[in-house]
């Protein structure tokens, strides 16, 4: 492993005891100038930038971050981020021992109500101070906050304005996906037609049966591609009704039962007290579970464990689905919800985009925590019925 070279400034700092008063004064002035330069640069950035310690205490915030979360510079070293952004604390579930310090990447969309009503996208990544050994005490976290209020509010208008280009992009991908199975169907249907003219021999009947099986498989694959295409291009408004989230989860796990068994995947469920009722579309919530669980299966090539945990507080219901798969690289986090972005050979890249859209339309939030080589945890946050009614009345 290559040894990191010290900068000239670090070399000087290492010989502080050898400096006289005049050189110390020069050094302090130089440090002050460099700090001022860095602060000026960070304050010109539109995104909010925070540095927090392992307990969530804010050690630094640029101007944009302070404006977004109502933080003042004089509060540095005293204010805890979770108190300013309670929704982040809920989705991280800080009550779980080690839950926060173990993550290597966190992505969230948050609704802030103070000091202004804003929507933000948050990325949180850990880093170590220079030349220090990895430990909980030395760990720091960089938090990047992007204001997406205008993006979120204008989503429907933007979709209408870009409808033509979006459909063209999606149609091109779907047309490519449909090409090979359609060719395969055509060939095998031609074989069936020929063999039907010679049905007197059992051997020929066996060939027909084999061809029919191939056709059935290809038709099923086409159904999946078309269903995802239509869901992405023509989403239906949710048919809201009172729902208990847990029975729907059990239903999807039962549907995927054989596939989970074939992949040697064990499912562990940790359910607390009965979950409060939410207002949601049953079929769309079923789609959310299905897409996430399918991703979890495909992330574990040689078996593993899916852990499902449910909980609730006074305002929200949470469902966490974690896998022991390959995890998500940090540079892939911003692209997880992009259409057609996938790291799988046979993936269509629409699954998580659909999940995010459904959660938004239900007034919910979607969180992703991941560590490469360890796994990924998806947190679904649904507003309880009484909270959603209040939001709809505003």
> Which residues make Cβ contacts (< 8 Å) with residue 6, sequence separation at least 6?
14
Which tops the pLDDT comparison, 165 or 59? 59
Segment 58-94, tens digit of pLDDT:
999 999 998 889 888 888 888 898 888 877 777 765 5
Query: Residue 1's pLDDT is what?
Result: 41
Segment 252-266, tens digit of pLDDT:
898 888 888 888 999
User: Whose CA is closest to 363, among 334, 390, 336?
Assistant: 390
**3-class secondary structure, 170:** helix
Q: Does domain 36-152 have CATH number 3.30.450.20?
A: yes
User: Whose CA is closest to 235, among 361, 142, 147, 128?
Assistant: 361
Which tops the pLDDT comparison, 177 or 260? 260
Rounded CA separation 138/295 (Å): 34
Do the domains 240-393 and 36-152 match in fold? no
Query: Residue 181's pLDDT is what?
Result: 72
Q: Break the chain into its structural domains and give their ranges.
A: 36-152, 159-233, 240-393
Which tops the pLDDT comparison, 191 or 137? 191
157 pLDDT band (50/70/90 cuts)? low
For the packed helices 282-299 and 245-255, what is the interaxial angle rounded to 10 degrees?
Answer: 50
Token digits of residue 158: 């933007």
Partners of residue 49 on adjacent β-strands: 144
For 240-393, CATH gives: 3.30.565.10
Query: Residue 203's pLDDT is what?
Result: 66
């Amino acid at each position: 492993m290559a040894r990191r070279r010290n900068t000239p400034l670090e070399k000087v700092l290492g010989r502080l005891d050898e400096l006289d008063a005049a050189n110390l004064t020069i050094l302090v002035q130089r440090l002050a100038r460099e700090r001022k330069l860095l602060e000026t640069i960070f304050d010109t950035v539109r995104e909010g930038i925070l540095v927090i310690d392992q307990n969530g205490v804010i050690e630094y915030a640029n101007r944009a971050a302070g404006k977004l979360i109502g933080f003042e510079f004089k509060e540095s070293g005293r204010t805890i981020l979770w108190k300013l952004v309670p929704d982040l604390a809920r989705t991280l579930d800080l009550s779980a021992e080690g839950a926060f310090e173990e993550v290597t990447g966190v992505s969230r969309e948050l609704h802030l109500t103070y000091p202004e009503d804003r929507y933000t996208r948050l990325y949180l990544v850990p880093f170590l101070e220079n030349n220090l050994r990895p430990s909980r005490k030395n760990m720091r976290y960089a938090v990047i906050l992007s204001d997406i209020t205008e993006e979120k509010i204008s989503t429907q208008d933007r979709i209408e304005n870009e409808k033509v280009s979006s459909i063209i992009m999606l149609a091109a991908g779907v047309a490519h996906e449909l090409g090979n199975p359609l060719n395969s169907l055509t060939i095998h249907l031609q074989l069936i037609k020929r063999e039907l003219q010679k049905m007197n021999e059992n051997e020929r009947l066996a060939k027909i049966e084999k061809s029919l099986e191939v056709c059935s498989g290809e038709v099923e694959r086409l159904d999946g591609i078309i269903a995802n295409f239509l869901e992405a291009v023509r989403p239906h408004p949710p048919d809201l009704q009172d729902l208990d989230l847990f029975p729907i989860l059990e239903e999807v796990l039962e549907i995927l039962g054989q596939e989970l068994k074939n992949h040697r995947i064990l499912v562990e469920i940790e359910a607390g007290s009965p979950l409060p009722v939410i207002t949601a579309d049953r079929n769309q919530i079923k789609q959310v579970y299905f897409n996430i669980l399918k991703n979890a299966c495909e992330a574990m090539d040689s078996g593993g464990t899916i852990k499902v945990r449910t909980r609730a507080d006074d305002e929200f219901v949470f469902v966490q689905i974690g896998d022991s798969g390959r995890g998500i690289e940090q540079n892939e986090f911003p692209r997880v919800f992009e259409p057609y972005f996938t790291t799988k050979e046979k993936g269509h890249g629409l699954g998580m985009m659909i999940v995010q859209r459904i959660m938004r339309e239900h007034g919910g939030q979607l969180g992703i925590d991941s560590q490469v080589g360890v796994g990924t945890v998806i947190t679904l946050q649904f507003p309880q019925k009484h909270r959603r009614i209040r939001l709809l009345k505003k």
